Structure 1
Amino acid sequence: MEKQSWLELFMTYLQLEKNSSLHTTSNYERDIVDFERFIRAIGIDHFAKVTNSDVRAYLTSLYEKKYARKTVSRKISALRSFYNFHMREKRVVENVFTTVFLPKNKGRLPTFLYEEEIQELFASLQGDKPLDQRDRAILELLYATGIRVSECSQLTIRDIDFSIGTVLVIGKGMKERYVPMGSFATEALWRYIQDGREALHKKDESQTNSLFLNYRGGALSDRSIRTIVGNRMEKAAYNKRLRPHDIRHSFATHMLNNGADLRVVQELLGHEHLSTTQIYTHVTKERLRDVYKQHHPRA
């Protein structure tokens, strides 16, 4: 059914034209292959022969399998992009996923740490060993800049500019942005690079330029950074479930709480759309409501 060539063309488009991340492309490929299996099972031998009723049948099958709203939305987005691409290339005359309703995700607010909890987290980072210096530098940088863990793992020595206190970040779609990193992060990074990183660097023959290194001296993966941050947050003994990404949420929330402009926060976070950043205004409203309830005598 020429499935392979259609899929390969779309994957090439995502990688070369859209500069999509490996995570995005692998998810999209998996979703399209899943859809191909479905249409083959109902007797359709080509993507171009899919009709609106076939799409409705596919959606019904997803709901019967009890997929989460977020997963269904991602699958629809992947297939909508797939058909948009082949429409552009004039392989199909219409996108059968254009009119499909995207299920709304439940409006769950992002979890974040209060400023007092952030102080407790950094107070818990003790020790002068190379790995202690590295871990503190990672957490200071994540909180100071709001960058994603995946962006943090890609940083090299050359991306840090101590003269003006900025870090060059490669975000989604390979888009570059410069982010200020603040005095605490600057000090922690300088100490780590001059001392702890040097000690770790000597252990590896490849002499990588990666900023953050593992105990063998090689580049630290994003998965390892998530583990490190998660372990450090767990040791701080908060009474709530937290993820490394919540450091990013905390950065955005604290910036807005302290009067930062929404568009500035959008640019610092590397959000393409302002609506993505606006969720943090809801977080700040929740914070105001909590403070009001705690301190107003007739709340």
Structure 2
Amino acid sequence: MALDYPITDTLAAFDAWLEPTHGAATRRLYRQILGRFVTWLQATHPDSPATVANLSSRDGARYREWLRAQQPTKKPATINTALAALDTWGGWTVVAGLRADNPFTTLGRVRDVDTERAPKALSPTQQDALLKAAGHGRHAARATGIVSLLLHTGLRVAELCALTWGDLVVGERSGQLRVRAGKGGVARTVPLNIEVRRDLWRWAVAQTALADDEAPDARLWWTAAHAQTLMGWIQQESMRPVIGSQKGGPLRPRAVQTVITTVAYHAKITEPLVTPHVLRHTYATQLVTNGAPLTVVATLLGHQRLSTTAIYTKPSSQELARWTDTLALD
């Protein structure tokens, strides 16, 4: 087992290993993080080469504390992303046979007051306003499809962009979608409720001739016949992106964010700042509020650790503020 590779010499192979399960932006970020880590190692240990074999768990812990001490202060999420990159790379060294152990597997994440609160989510009233605004825009069917999918399935934006019609099973009374390669390469199946099935049908109708022989109002109904028609079309267009660009390819995450930002503006939602991930948080928050077990929520979100899902059981900033406001009424 060769254990003396310089860390920088492993980055190309590590990137290739990540490619099937991680997007280009994530891989680029991980390379940058590892490059900064090597620079730190060389500065703090000038007499010790930055090689795979020389790393220890203490290096990870010391780097974490160095990151926490930086000015201006780095957000916990930024530091934790760096730690996750190191942990992922450390796991790869074991898979690649460069080490017998991952030196960063026990590296604890950073927490502060904010991370002890549930992520911000939209209220039911805000969700209704968002969907209503999506339905009145220039590209109403597409915008509604995007908002509905994110709100009712909790997909990550990259998962939405990678979704093809062949990943869907859509019936009159039930449906599901298959996330083929979620974060960390984890596949999962997510049910499709009646709202999102109907919105997907309307989006399909808006861009095809599926129901051109029906009256305008009837085209937008959702019946068993429509479900059968949609599934027949899906079998023929299985590789077609569910949310495609004007050129026919998959929509990029930045374009999805633009759609969400525009719809939120017209819905007059200023707090919280509406992003695709806030819609994912909203989906998770509703599941927990309605009594779903954490194991179910974790499975639907594609979380590999229950500790990640447990954050949704914490009080949100809005809840804390609401209860504090009640004190002024006494």
What is aligned with 1:242? 274
For residues 174 and 94 of structure 1, the distance between their equivalents in structure 2, rounded to whole angstroms, comes to 21
What is aligned with 1:189? 200
SS in 2 for 1:138: helix
- Structure 1 stretch 34-43 or stretch 174-183: which is displaced more? 34-43
For residues 148 and 241 of structure 2, the distance between their equivalents in structure 1, rounded to whole angstroms, comes to 17
What is aligned with 1:174? 185
The reply to whether residue 230 of structure 1 matches residue 261 of structure 2 is yes
Q: Deviations over 1:238-288 (max 9, x none)?
A: 241332211111111122222333322221111112222222122479759
What is aligned with 1:203? none
Classify 1:91/1:192 alpha carbon distance in 2 versus 1 (closer, same or farther; 3 Å).
closer
For residues 253 and 44 of structure 1, the distance between their equivalents in structure 2, rounded to whole angstroms, comes to 48
TM-score, normalization by structure 1:
0.78
The reply to whether residue 117 of structure 1 matches residue 117 of structure 2 is no
Report the Cα offset of residue 93 of structure 1.
Answer: 7.4
Alignment equivalent of 2:111, drawn from 90, 99, 104: 104
Classify 1:218/1:96 alpha carbon distance in 2 versus 1 (closer, same or farther; 3 Å).
closer
SS in 2 for 1:124: helix
Q: Which has the higher contact order (CA 8 A, sep 6+)?
A: 2
SS in 2 for 1:191: helix
Letter in 2 for 1:248: R
What is the count of residue pairs matched by the alignment? Answer: 288
Letter in 2 for 1:220: L
The reply to whether residue 11 of structure 1 matches residue 18 of structure 2 is no
Alignment equivalent of 1:37, drawn from 32, 36, 39: 39
Classify 1:111/1:45 alpha carbon distance in 2 versus 1 (closer, same or farther; 3 Å).
same
What is aligned with 1:26? 28
For residues 187 and 103 of structure 1, the distance between their equivalents in structure 2, rounded to whole angstroms, comes to 42
For residues 56 and 249 of structure 1, the distance between their equivalents in structure 2, rounded to whole angstroms, comes to 30
Report the Cα offset of residue 156 of structure 1.
Answer: 0.8
Report the Cα offset of residue 65 of structure 1.
Answer: 4.5
- Is the Cα–Cα contact under 8 Å of residues 134 and 196 in structure 1 kept in the other structure? no
Classify 1:138/1:86 alpha carbon distance in 2 versus 1 (closer, same or farther; 3 Å).
closer
For residues 279 and 53 of structure 1, the distance between their equivalents in structure 2, rounded to whole angstroms, comes to 28
The reply to whether residue 160 of structure 1 matches residue 168 of structure 2 is yes
Classify 1:208/1:224 alpha carbon distance in 2 versus 1 (closer, same or farther; 3 Å).
farther
For residues 84 and 209 of structure 1, the distance between their equivalents in structure 2, rounded to whole angstroms, comes to 35
What is aligned with 1:202? none
Q: Equivalent residues in 2 for 1:130-169 (5 A)? A: 131-163=139-171, 164-169=174-179
Classify 1:279/1:126 alpha carbon distance in 2 versus 1 (closer, same or farther; 3 Å).
same
Q: Deviations over 1:117-146 (max 9, x none)?
A: 2112222233486x2111111111111111
Classify 1:285/1:217 alpha carbon distance in 2 versus 1 (closer, same or farther; 3 Å).
closer
SS in 2 for 1:103: coil
Classify 1:77/1:196 alpha carbon distance in 2 versus 1 (closer, same or farther; 3 Å).
closer
- Is the Cα–Cα contact under 8 Å of residues 253 and 284 in structure 1 kept in the other structure? no
Classify 1:81/1:215 alpha carbon distance in 2 versus 1 (closer, same or farther; 3 Å).
closer
The reply to whether residue 209 of structure 1 matches residue 240 of structure 2 is yes
What is aligned with 2:252? 221
SS in 1 for 2:314: helix
Alignment equivalent of 2:304, drawn from 257, 272, 282: 272
The reply to whether residue 72 of structure 1 matches residue 79 of structure 2 is yes
Q: Deviations over 1:178-200 (max 9, x none)?
A: 2111111111111111223669x
TM-score, normalization by structure 2:
0.72
Letter in 2 for 1:167: L
Q: Deviations over 1:224-243 (max 9, x none)?
A: 11110121112211241332
